[in-house]
Amino acid sequence: MADSPVMNGGHHDPWTRHNQMVLEPLETNDPEVYEIIRKEKHRQRYGLELIASENFASCAVLQALGSCLNNKYSEGYPGQRYYGGTEHVDELELLCQKRALETYSLDPKKWGVNVQPYSGSPANFAVYTALVEPHGRIMGLDLPDGGHLTHGFMTDMSCLVYGFYTSVQVNPDTGYIDYDRLEENARLFHPKLIIAGVSCYSRNLDYARMRTIANENNAVLMADMAHISGLVAAGVVPSPFEHCDIVTTTTHKTLRGCRAGMIFYRKDNYESLINQAVFPGLQGGPHNHAIAGTAHAHLRAFPSSDPYEKSSGSANFDIPYRDLLQVLLWPSNKQ
Ligand SMILES: Cc1ncc(COP(=O)(O)O)c(C=O)c1O
C-alpha cells in the first residue's frame, strides 16, 4: 500500500496531499520533467528548425491540448456514445467536423470527416481496414521515392497485412513520378486502392491522372495530404478533393494544429465503413483534447484573402514565418 499521510505520521492532512497531487503546477510538482520541457522549449526557440513535417502549434492549440478534455472518455460518435456526460464533447466533435469541412470548402451533403484518428498512421490504417480485405492489393509510392512508411514500406504493419505493391516510383532521370509506369503496373496488379500521397516529393501530384488509372481498375483513390494540408487549405496547391474518394491527413504539419489525424470520405459510399474501422475497429476513446486542438487549428486555417498570408504558404503560416525571421535575426532584434 502506498504511504498515506497517516502512515507518514500525519504531517499532511489528506486535502493538502490531494491539492499537491492535483493542483500543483508541474514546475514544483515534478521539477525533473519540467526541466526537460524547459530545455526542449529553449532548443526549439533558439535552434533552427527546418523539418518539413514539424510546425509550431499556437498557444491556443496547446491550451486546448492541456485542458480538462483529456479526462473524458467518449467511445462512439456524437449522439451515440458508450459513456455518460458526453454532451460537451459531442458539441466539440461536431464543431471540429464542421470546421474541417469548411476549411476545404466541402459540401457536408457529399463529404463527411472522421476527426478521431490518433494520428496520420492510424488514419491510413483505418482506411485500409475499412476498404481492403487482408491480403487485398494496394499501390503506393515507394518510401525511398518519397512515399510514407504507411504507404506500404516493408517494415510497416500495413505491408504485413495487405498485398502492397509500391510500384509508384519516380523516374530516376527526371525525378518525377512515372505515371505511365503506374498505369502499366496497375493493369497487371489490379489494386483495390491507390494512394496519392507523399512525404518527400517536391512536386504537385497529378490527381486527375491517378483518378483515370483508378477508374480503369475499379480502384478507390485515396489521397494522403498530410504534408500539404495547410497548403491545400490556403488554396496554393491543387486540392485532392475533386478527384479522390478518401483524403487522409495529419493535423500537426502545415495545418499547424496538435498531433492528430483526420479521414475525409465521400458520404455516399464510405461513411459507415470508415467510421466503423476507426471505432470500434482500431481505436477506443477519442482524444477529446486533441479534437479541441484540431477544431481550433481549423479556425485559423480558413482560406485567406490576405496576399501576404497566401504568399507565405498557408493561411496560418504568417506566425511561423515571422518567428523564423525573428530567430534568424536574433539577437539583434531581441524584443
Ligand atoms: C504522408 C504522410 N502520411 C502519414 C504520416 C504519418 O503521420 P504520423 O506520424 O502522425 O502517424 C506522415 C508522417 O510524416 C506522412 O508524411
- What one-character-per-residue DSSP string does 256-325 give? ---S-EEEEEEHHHHHHHHHHIIIIII--S--HHHHHHHHHHHHT-S----HHHHHTSSTT-HHHHHHHH
CB of 151 shorter than 6 A to ligand 1: no
Cell 518519397 locates to 146
SS3 35: helix
Output the pTM of the full model.
0.88
Asked about 59 being catalytic, the answer comes back as no
CB 161 within 8 A of CB 133: no
148 Cα to the center of ligand 1, angstroms: 7
Tell me what pLDDT residue 123 has: 98
Q: pLDDT digits over 183-224, tens only?
A: 999 999 999 999 999 999 989 999 999 999 999 999 999 999
The yes-or-no verdict on residue 5 having pLDDT over 60 is no
CA 80 – ligand 1 centroid, Å: 29
Measured from the CB, is residue 140 less than 6 Å from ligand 1? no
For residue 200 and ligand 1, the question of a CB distance below 6 A is answered with no
Measured from the CB, is residue 227 less than 6 Å from ligand 1? yes
- Given a cut of 90, is residue 43 above it in pLDDT? yes
What is the per-residue pLDDT across 135-190, written as a single tens digit (0 to 9) for each?
A: 999 999 989 889 999 998 888 888 888 877 766 789 989 999 999 999 999 999 99
Task: Establish whether residue 150 lines the binding site of ligand 1, counting it when its CB lies within 6 angstroms of any ligand atom.
Answer: yes
**pLDDT score of 327:** 43
Q: Is 11 one of the annotated active-site residues of the chain?
A: no
- Residue nearest atom 3 in ligand 1 by C-alpha distance: 226
Q: What whole-number percentage of the chain has pLDDT above 70? A: 86
Which has the minimum average pLDDT: 12-26, 52-66, 81-95, 244-258?
12-26
Question: Is 60 exceeded by the pLDDT of residue 290?
Answer: yes
Render pLDDT for 264-287 as a digit per residue (tens, 0 to 9).
999 999 999 999 999 999 999 999
Q: What angle do CA 301, 306, 308 make, to 5 degrees?
A: 100
| pLDDT at residue 302 is higher than 80 | no
For residue 147, give the ligand 1 atom closest to its CA.
1
| Residue among 151, 243, 252, 287 flagged as catalytic | 252
